[in-house]
Amino acid sequence: MIAEEQARALSAGLSFCAKWRQSLDPVAFAVEALSIIPEPWQAEVLRSREKRFLLNCTRQGGKSTVAAILALHIALFRPDSLVLIISPSGRQSAELFDKIYKLFCRIPDRPRLVTDNVLSMELPNRSRIIALPDSEDKIRGYSDADLIVEDESARVPDETHDAVQPMLIVSDGRYLELSTPKGKKGHFYRHWADEHSGYRKIKVTIDETPHISEAKRADMLRELGTRMYQQECMCEFLDVAGAGIFRREWFEIVDSCPAEARQVRRWDLAATAGGGDATAGVRLAEHKGIFYIVDVRHLRGTPGQVEALVGQTAQLDGAHVRVRMEQEPGSAGLNTIDHYRRNILKGYDFKGVPSTGDKTMRAGPVSAAAEAGNVKIVRGTWDISAFLDELVSFPDGDYDDRVDALSGAFGDIRRSAEPRIIGL
| Average confidence (pLDDT) per 10 residues, the chain, 424 residues | 46 66 94 95 94 94 96 96 91 90 94 89 96 72 90 91 87 93 91 93 94 90 81 85 76 95 94 67 96 95 92 95 89 89 94 80 88 94 93 83 94 69 36
What pLDDT was estimated at residue 338? Answer: 94
| pTM of the predicted protein model | 0.68
Element spanning 210, H or E: none
| 297-300, Cβ contacts within 8 angstroms, sequence gap of 24 or more | 297/382, 298/383, 298/386, 298/401, 298/402, 300/270, 300/272, 300/273, 300/274, 300/275, 300/276
Gap between the Cα atoms of 183 and 190, Å rounded: 11
pLDDT for 424 equals 34
Give residue 117's pLDDT. Answer: 85
What's the pLDDT at 135? Answer: 65
Task: Give the torsion through C-alpha atoms of 33, 34, 37, 38, to 10 deg.
Answer: -110
Kindly indicate whether the domain formed by 21-228 is annotated with CATH number 3.20.20.60.
no
Contact 149, 96 (CB under 8 A): yes
Write down the pLDDT at residue 422: 36
Q: How far apart are CA 415 and CA 410, in angstroms?
A: 9
pLDDT given for residue 138 in this prediction: 66
What pLDDT shows up at residue 356? 72
CA-to-CA distance for 81 and 128, rounded, in angstroms?
6
What does the domain layout of the chain look like in residue ranges?
21-228, 248-415
Using CA atoms, how far residue 159 sits from 119, 149, 155, 164, in Å, is: 22, 16, 11, 9
Local structure of 340: helix, strand or coil? helix
User: What CATH number has the domain spanning 248-415?
Assistant: 3.30.420.240
